[in-house]
Structures are given as C-alpha cells and as structure tokens.
Amino acid sequence: MITAAGDICGSATDCTPTGNLIRTIAPSAELTLGDNAYESGTLAEYNSEYNPNWGSFKPTTYPAPGNHEYDSAGAQGYFDYFGSRAPSPYYSFDLGGWHLISLASDSGVSNAKGSAEETWLLNDLAAHPSTCTLAYWHEPRFTSGTVHSSDSSWVPIWTDLYNANADLVLNGHVHNYERFAPQTPSGARDDARGIVEIVSGTGGVSHYASGSPIANSVVQNDTSFGVLKLTLHPGSYDWQFMPATGSFADSGSRACH
C-alpha cells in the first residue's frame, strides 16, 4: 500500500492534516508529486514546513520535484533535503511487483523527445517489459483545472509510456483531485491500452477551482485535502482518495495491461 499527493506544504500547519492521515493509513511507501515545500523549495522551507509533518516518512518516501523546487537553482534544497531518497531528477524502482518511475521537468530538465530524460525512460521501460508500471511527476498532461491547463510538453513521455503498456500516471500541480478514464497520448479514450491519469494536488497548500470537465474526465473535487491511497497487486491496483478534510471519496480497481 502506498500514498501519493503533491502541492503539500505552504506552512508548517498546511500539511499537518495529510501528515496525520498518512500516519493512520501506515503505508509502506509515500510518493510526493512535486511542490512539496513552498514557495521555492529551499532547504530552510523543507526543514520548517515539510519536515515537522511529512518528514517523519522520509525513510520510505520516493519524491518527485515540482516547478517550485526549481525556483531554487538546480532544485538544490530538494536534493539536499531528500539526499539518497532523490538520487537524480528522474529515477525508477520496483515495489510490490510493480515498476515505478519518478520523472521531472523544469529548469535544466527537458522532457522533450530525444532529451536525456526521455532517452533514459526508453531504456528503463525496455529493461522492465513485463511488470505493471506507474509513472509520476508534477505537471499533468491532462487537466480540467482553471489555473493550469493540460501540458502538451509531456506528449513524448506519454507516448513512450503508452507504447510500453504502462498502466497509471500520477500528477500534482493543479491543486485539486481529478481522475481520467484510460487515454492515449492525444487524449482519445482507449479502454484496452490507455493510461489512467490521476491528479492529486491535494497535499494541503491550497485549492484551485475545478473547471468544466474536459474529455474523459471522470471525477473532480476542489474542496477536500487528502492523499491518494494505492494498493498494488501483482496484476492490478486499487485506488482510494482518502480525505484529511472534507468528505469527498473516489475509489475503484483496475487490472494492469
């Protein structure tokens, strides 16, 4: 069982509800989806905001950086704080029979076709051809949000994941919750091979208003803070949004490709 959320701490109290919730869930691992400590992801902000709450999970956290981390040159505060938990801007690991991939973009990290990150991803996917695959990063390829829009710069990455039969993508950046039906990189519904995207920018810093649902958006919420709980089975996964504030709920199960 793992938990995931992004856009976590704007102060030492913002992320207390979700931190307490994670203690109740007691997962085996935690994923951060970027913008973990506002405004600039400095080491001082990590120590004063993030560390008193989510910091207790650092030994089992697999982080990803967001655009606010890169407001500090080279996201140095992020790397200084997480140390060996963030071995590079992008990395992968295996957990419970699944292959998980943490990716990045922003200053100094390109997600374009042919970039170092995209080339690394192709090699990583080729080395893990027969496992259920989850990828996560900050900016969503698809969102109905009102503050940030769908980010087409991620099309090459989505294409690589789609071609490798990846199953699930998690994002933050948009400060709400949204789940999409399985899609192709261009946004066409594809129940056979499509990737499910879940935006979980609900870590505690603030909410953004949800917009009119775009194609294949299944559910949205902009009133509850919380974390996404995932139970990874050998050939399937269960998801459940766990509210730390409010009462919104979303849950279900899906087989891997």
Q: Which domains does the chain have, with CATH numbers?
A: 2-255 (3.60.21.10)
Query: Which of 249, 252, 172, 187 minimizes the C-alpha distance to 217?
Result: 187
| C-alpha distances in Å from residue 253, one per residue of 168, 190, 192, 229, 239 | 12, 17, 15, 12, 6
**What pLDDT, in 10s, does the model give residues 196-217?**
999 999 999 999 999 999 999 9
For 59, the 3-state DSSP assignment is: helix
- The pLDDT of 136-161, averaged and rounded, is 95
Provide CB contacts within 8 A for 60, sequence distance 6+: 27, 28, 29, 30
The tens digit of pLDDT for each residue in 153-180 reads: 999 999 999 999 999 999 999 999 999 9
